[in-house]
Structure 1
Amino acid sequence: MSCWETFLDYALRSQGIGERLLPRSDFTLCQQFVLIGSGMIWNIYFGTVALVTGFFLATAVAVGKAARNPLIRKPASWFIFIFRGSPLFIQFFFAYFLFLTLRGVSSFFDPFTSAWLGALVVLFLNTAAYSGEIFYGALQSIPKGDTEAADAYGLSGWSRFRRVVWPTMLRLAWPAYTNEAIFLFHATTLVFFSGFPAAQQRGDALYYASYFADKTFNPFVPYPILAFYFILLTLVIIGIFGLINSRLNRHLPQERRKRMTFKPQIIR
């Protein structure tokens, strides 16, 4: 089988398209590249959807934590504390068995026991908590002169937040938020190694890398391939977020613009 035929058979296997059976013997380098790359589709899906939806919840949580009203501030603070204080791996297990229990009560929760939705909910809440803390710190760091200038122009309420507070918060938080985005995509590798099953062996990139490592007894081929894909993905994220960062700081002189730096988190 040529590499092109392998690509046609397995490129979309993680989505249920193409060859159903995994290779059993005589594993080629092309098969490992294609199947692990196919699994990356799930990692990109989990990371992208969780990041986009979590961004809005993170903004709301940050504003809630900065609120003076304790009825708003306390729930936001506890939400951040719980999801930042517990390991993501445990959150996956807890959520899966919670959804299994709820499925026995109502069929509405059937989709939540599948990784495509249930694991996505966990990632969404987790990144919202981490990002919410980042945005809260940025809110606390907004120069008082900016808000005083908004008051002088007669801006208040939603208009003040949309035109002054929110853009300034994003500018201050964006470098740290970029690191959170990178780590979120890396954290997607935990999905199929937690409670959520991989239906019909349609797993993510780490699922296929582990399959080849187990079958060949040689982890030094599939895992470097997996690392290669994630390095490429990280470069894409840095590039996209760098462009957004430049857009957010376009009004500042060049020497005052914050440069994007990658500071990986060791413990989540």
Structure 2
Amino acid sequence: MSCWETVQAYAFRSLGYGERLLPRGEISLCEQVTLIGSGMIWNIYFGVLALFFGFFFAVTLAVAKNSHAKWVRKPAEWFIFVFRGSPLFIQFFLAYFALVRLPEEIGTLDISWLTDPFAKAWLGALIVLFLNTAAYAGEIFYGALRSIPKGDLDAADAYGMSGFKRFRRVVYPTMLRLAWPAYTNEAIFLFHATTLVYFSGFPAFRQQGDALYYASYFADRTFNPFVPYPIVAMFFIILTLIVITVFSLINRHLNRHLPAERRARVRYRPNLIR
């Protein structure tokens, strides 16, 4: 079939729509690009939702870690330490065992109706990515909280601000402005880390996998990994450029009140290891 027919057949196959069977025999470049692009839908799903929910949890963790109350500070410190101190790859396997296998091993009642959703990547892997990025971002926001100029806090006190009003009007915006460049790099790396879902214990449902799932399939079928894996890299480079653009616009908005020479710029600094 033509390339356009291939796009129509496979563009949304990762979501369960379109051609049921994967390509066999002579596999064209168009089929590889289309199916790997279809798998990117799941990578974007994991990244966007983990970032969205992880952002609010990260702010909570940062505020808790900055608290003077020990019973609030210590749980946040240990949560951040555990998830930053252990590899994300291992966290996937531990989560799969804790959420799925362990209840089956020790439970006397059938609770598969409760554990089955967690056995799927759309929920189980998403929870792991959410907790992981919340820990990293929480440490970033905590560092920004500690770096807020004392003059800003004194000015808030001089205006009679206290409690939540002080946090909402002074502390929170300044924290975001200081943390945003580093948080941008965390967001980029989170999208890259979604490729680890393929290697985790969470299986693809009815061959509806992510980009790396289809790239691995094509590499096995064609015995040529030098075509599908560069296609995956190309898609992630495009995704990275989109993330940088969006986060740069947000960064410009956060720093709109500052002179141009004092505005922090978003710079991509890749992490070599997580």
Q: TM over 0.5: same fold? A: yes
Rounded to whole Å, the distance in 1 between the matches of 2:133 and 2:80 is: 10
Deviating beyond 4 angstroms after TM superposition, the runs of 4 or more aligned structure 1 residues are none
User: Equivalent residue for 2:10?
Assistant: 10
Paired letter, 1:166: Y
User: Equivalent residue for 1:191?
Assistant: 197
Rounded to whole Å, the distance in 2 between the matches of 1:108 and 1:156 is: 44
- Corresponding residue to 1:148 among 149, 154, 175: 154
TM-score computed with the length of structure 1 as normaliser: 0.98
1:70-95 CA distance string (max 9 Å, x none) = 10110000000000000001000010
Report how many residues are paired.
268
1:75-130 CA distance string (max 9 Å, x none) = 00000000000000100001011111365353223211100000000000000000
User: Equivalent residue for 1:266?
Assistant: 272
* Secondary structure of residue in 2 paired with 1:199: coil
Rounded to whole Å, the distance in 1 between the matches of 2:175 and 2:250 is: 14
Alpha-carbon RMSD = 0.9
What is the 5 A alignment of 1:57-136?
A: 57-101=57-101, 104=104, 105=107, 106=111, 107-136=113-142
User: Equivalent residue for 2:246?
Assistant: 240
Rounded to whole Å, the distance in 2 between the matches of 1:35 and 1:137 is: 41
In the TM superposition, what is the alpha-carbon distance from 1:217 to its structure 2 partner? Answer: 1.0
User: Equivalent residue for 1:33?
Assistant: 33
Rounded to whole Å, the distance in 2 between the matches of 1:47 and 1:91 is: 17
- Corresponding residue to 1:167 among 150, 166, 173: 173
Identity, % of aligned positions = 71
- Corresponding residue to 2:182 among 169, 176, 181: 176
Rounded to whole Å, the distance in 2 between the matches of 1:32 and 1:108 is: 36
Q: Would you say the 8 A contact 1:103–1:110 is kept in 2? A: no
In the TM superposition, what is the alpha-carbon distance from 1:193 to its structure 2 partner? Answer: 1.2
User: Equivalent residue for 1:220?
Assistant: 226
Gap regions ≥5 residues in structure 2: none
Paired letter, 1:213: A
Of stretches 92-101 and 141-150 in structure 1, the one that deviates more from structure 2 is: 92-101
1:47-72 CA distance string (max 9 Å, x none) = 00000000000000000111011101
Rounded to whole Å, the distance in 2 between the matches of 1:192 and 1:98 is: 19
Rounded to whole Å, the distance in 2 between the matches of 1:53 and 1:87 is: 21
Rounded to whole Å, the distance in 1 between the matches of 2:32 and 2:221 is: 12
Paired letter, 1:27: I
Rounded to whole Å, the distance in 1 between the matches of 2:205 and 2:101 is: 19
Rounded to whole Å, the distance in 1 between the matches of 2:200 and 2:119 is: 12
* Secondary structure of residue in 2 paired with 1:24: coil
Q: Would you say the 8 A contact 1:102–1:109 is kept in 2? A: no
Rounded to whole Å, the distance in 1 between the matches of 2:213 and 2:254 is: 38
Rounded to whole Å, the distance in 2 between the matches of 1:176 and 1:74 is: 24
Q: Would you say the 8 A contact 1:115–1:192 is kept in 2? A: no
- 1:200 to 2:206 alignment: yes
Classify 1:123/1:185 alpha carbon distance in 2 versus 1 (closer, same or farther; 3 Å).
same
In the TM superposition, what is the alpha-carbon distance from 1:25 to its structure 2 partner? Answer: 1.3
Rounded to whole Å, the distance in 1 between the matches of 2:51 and 2:216 is: 26
Rounded to whole Å, the distance in 1 between the matches of 2:102 and 2:166 is: 42
1:16-65 CA distance string (max 9 Å, x none) = 00111101110000000000000000000000000000000000000011
* Secondary structure of residue in 1 paired with 2:122: helix
